[in-house]
Amino acid sequence: MGCFLYLIDVIVSLLNGRLVRERIGPAMLSAVQSQMGAVETRFDEVHNIFDTGGSKGLTEYSVKKIPKIAITCDNDVDESGERVSCSLCLQDFQVGEIVRSLPQCHHMFHLPCIDEWLVRHGSCPLCRRDL
């Protein structure tokens, strides 16, 4: 009879959510927090694995020294006749717009797009050449 009453108590607890709140909820929260801590630790380790020691981001002063050019009718299309676009935001350049042209590779990007990239990475996002 005691086993039957226990089973009824479990069913009632499931129906009103008490079992989840009192038993499963705290255990699940603890498990999730534990897993999140493990994931953060693993992410840091993975990030370090891919750290090749290449150049880090540039200073804002260095980024501002990279040449700017104006988009004209002569440079708004590539060799195939397609409109030239910023490969970071994927928006086409507009005639008259000022963009940054990277020194060695001459890839062009919108100023806000490439400036933010270079402060973090220090390389061309297309060809990955260090600046």
Sheet containing 68-70: order of strands: 68-70, 98-101, 108-110
pLDDT in tens, the chain (131 residues): 677 777 777 777 666 666 556 666 566 666 656 666 654 544 444 444 444 455 588 999 999 999 999 999 888 888 888 888 998 999 999 999 999 999 999 999 999 999 999 998 889 999 999 88
Quote the pTM value. 0.56
Measured CA to CA in angstroms, residue 116 lies from 68, 119, 122 at distances of 15, 5, 10
